[in-house]
Every structure is written in C-alpha cells, then in structure tokens.
Amino acid sequence: MEMKELYGGIDTHKENFAGCIVDERGRVLREHTFPATKEAVEKFTTGIPNTQMTIAIEACGIWRGAYNIFRELGYEVKLANPKITHDIASGKKTDKVDAKTLADLLRTNYLPEATSFLAGIITIRADIPPDLDATQAFFTVHVIPVMVHLCAAYGTHRRHCSTKNPRCRVHVIV
C-alpha cells in the first residue's frame, strides 16, 4: 500500500484546537474541533504515522502548547507567519477555515513560514536578574523581544542580536 503525504492545519485557542488534515490532492480527510490536550491530539491523529504528516500552526498567541504536543508525538511542525496567513485568509474567517487554509498552504508549498528565530523567541520572567529596577525589567520582558522580532522580520537580527546583550533574557527554543 502506497503511503500518501498528509498535511495538517491547526488553529489554536486556549481551550481547544481546530484541526484539518488533507491529502496531497487537497481532499479533507479529517476536520474536527477538539480540546487542547495531548490525549485529544492523539485521538485526532489516530492511525496517521508521524512520518506521514506535517503540521502547520500559526505562530501567534498560544502556539507553543500545540507545537510542543505535536513535536512530542513526533510530527514535523512548521510555524506560519500570522500576518501573512491572515492576509491570505482574510475572507470568511472561522476556526475551520483557518485550519483548512493552513493545511492547504502547507500542501501547496505556499506556507509563509515564520523563521525559527522569530517564532522561537521566548522571554522567561524568572530569568530577569534581581538587580534590575522596574524600567529595566519592563525593557527586558517587553521591549527587547519586540525589537528582536522586528529585526528578524527585516533580516537585521544578526547585526543587532540582543542575545549578546547580558541584560537580555531572550532564548531560542527552536
């Protein structure tokens, strides 16, 4: 039996995920909304080997939970640039439509991927040195990550990378 390549799109929310799985011709094989838990993801992907499917998740809001669950289950996960995917799917936007759009963009190789540098930045508040005053702490938590995102978006992060700054607590997790 020939193994087909499958493509999944996941629209993430705090309480649930909307998922869509399509084959290489764009036919919808599964389309469900399910709780944002590992058990529900396992049920959604039942019978699909992790080597057979790639997942696309929009890199906005709470993408990390879905990303971690799918990666833990062994699936390849690609993160989509939220601004560009929003512009592409700006018609009738529902969770179901967003998940299908992500799967189709991945399938057709038009997924506007977020760079791992951009999507993998996380600021951990616990890593802020205790000697920082409130303004410095605010800068470390809020302003520096935004600047890193902007630099990454415009391709200048190598020249101005804030990870070399000892006061910056930006970590690449991808």
Going by pLDDT thresholds of 50, 70 and 90, the confidence category of residue 60 is confident
Choose one of 55, 86, 107: the last residue of a domain: 107
Choose one of 107, 129, 156: the last residue of a domain: 107
Q: Domain count for the chain, please give it.
A: 2
Say whether both 82 and 127 belong to one domain: no
Specify the pTM.
Answer: 0.67
Say whether both 160 and 77 belong to one domain: no
Domain containing residue 79: 6-107
Torsion of CA 156, 157, 159, 164, to 10 degrees: 170
Mean pLDDT of 35-46: 95
Pairing state between β 76-80 and 53-58: parallel
Mean pLDDT of 45-69: 90
Q: What are the pLDDT digits (tens) for 126-147? A: 445 555 555 555 555 555 555 5
Q: Is residue 1 part of a domain?
A: no
Choose one of 76, 107, 138: the last residue of a domain: 107
CATH code of the domain in which 72 resides? 3.30.420.40
Q: Average pLDDT over the chain, rounded to whole?
A: 76
Going by pLDDT thresholds of 50, 70 and 90, the confidence category of residue 157 is very low
